[in-house]
Each structure stands twice: as structure tokens, then as C-alpha cells.
Amino acid sequence: MKRDDHRARAMHTARRNGMGVPVATARRDWYTIRAQTPSAPAEVLIYDEIGWYGVTATDFVKDLESLDGDEIVVRINSPGGDVYDGIAILNALRGHKATIT
């Protein structure tokens, strides 16, 4: 490969997962859902892109359905992403029976 090809591939990989690790081998820890305990509400943390390269609505909704507490705290630090997945995540949170903060 030419040097420019390596640079382009490295930049593409870094943009795709933010770590420079090829996506096929990257860990999928872009979001975390922690179950509720007696002293703390459930917590949802989203710290990457919304959509295909990060948090997909399909995966998020599946995991959100497993929470059955009265309160969920959501923290989002995302550079953006797919608006349709973002809307689907928002609607899933709105539709959940818990109080969302």
C-alpha cells in the first residue's frame, strides 16, 4: 500500500470509532445502562455517535426495555449522528413508564 492509502485508512478508522481500532475489533461500549438499586435510579450513559457507527436505536430500545424501575437518569455526550435513530431513542425514553431525568 502507498503511504497515502495507510493515512486514509487510519483516518477513516479513527473517525468511525474514535479510537483508531478497526471497527470489526472495537469494543461496543458506546453506551451503558446500569440497573436501578434501592439507593440509586437506573442510569443510561450515551457517549458516542447515535446511529450505525455508535449507538443504534434497535440495540438501545432492546436494552431499555429490560429496565423496570421508577426513575431513569440519562446522560448524553454525543457528537451527533443519525437523526432517525436519535428520534427513535427519544421516543423510546418518552414511552417508558419511568420518570426520565
- Over residues 19-78, the pLDDT tens digits come to 443 334 344 566 777 776 767 898 888 888 998 888 889 988 988 998 888 899 999 999
Residue type, 44: V
The domain total for the chain is 1
Residue 11 lies in a domain: no
Calpha distance 27→14 (Å, rounded): 14
Question: Directed axis angle between helix 83-95 and helix 57-64, to 10°?
Answer: 10
Residue type, 63: D
How would you class 19 by CB atoms within 10 Å of its CB: exposed for 0-12, middle for 13-18, buried for 19 or more?
Answer: exposed
- Over residues 1-16, the pLDDT tens digits come to 444 444 444 444 334 4
Pairing of strands 71-76, 42-46: parallel
Which pLDDT score is estimated for 32?
77
C-alpha cell at 9: 485508512
Which pLDDT score is estimated for 30?
66
Residue 85 — very low, low, confident or very high, per pLDDT cuts 50/70/90? very high
Residue 86 lies in a domain: yes
Contact 35, 42 (CB under 8 A): yes
* Strand, helix or coil for residue 25: helix
Residue 1 lies in a domain: no
Residue 22 lies in a domain: no
